[in-house]
Amino acid sequence: MLLEAQIAADTQLALDPKNLELADTLDSVRAKGLLFESPLPGDTAVILIPAEGEHAAGVRIGFANFATITRYNRSVRYAMAVHDLAQALAAGVYEAGQ
């Protein structure tokens, strides 16, 4: 699972696109100035992933399943594509079932 996050105004955030370790938590990334909504506990381990948005650079928050995808292929872009494809397929299956 990935969450889209916004970077709070006046926040400087240095992201390492090669970091694929669950080194942060939801609480710690909130403290760094990321804005997002999640029902998960604050101590949930996460990875910060730089992402190119439509109009500006952005950040995605990855969880343990994202880290698992990167064990097969260490490319962040590959893992994001797998996630996005899975989401699109799930949405299509859900819409087709209605």
Q: Which of 70, 93, 72, 71 is nearest to 80 (CA)?
A: 70
SS3 3: strand
Number of other CB atoms surrounding residue 62 within 10 Å? 24
Query: 91: domain range?
Result: 2-96
Q: Which pLDDT does position 15 carry in this prediction?
A: 83
Q: What is the CATH number of the domain that holds 47?
A: 1.10.530.10
pLDDT digits (tens, 9 = 90+) for 4-34: 898 888 888 888 877 888 999 999 999 999 9
pLDDT category at 53 given cuts 50, 70, 90 is low
The total of structural domains in the chain comes to: 1
Q: Which of 52, 11, 16, 51 is nearest to 32 (CA)?
A: 11
Mean residue pLDDT of the chain comes to 85
Interval 40-63 mean pLDDT? 85
Q: Which residue has the tokens 């494809």?
A: 85
pLDDT category at 96 given cuts 50, 70, 90 is low
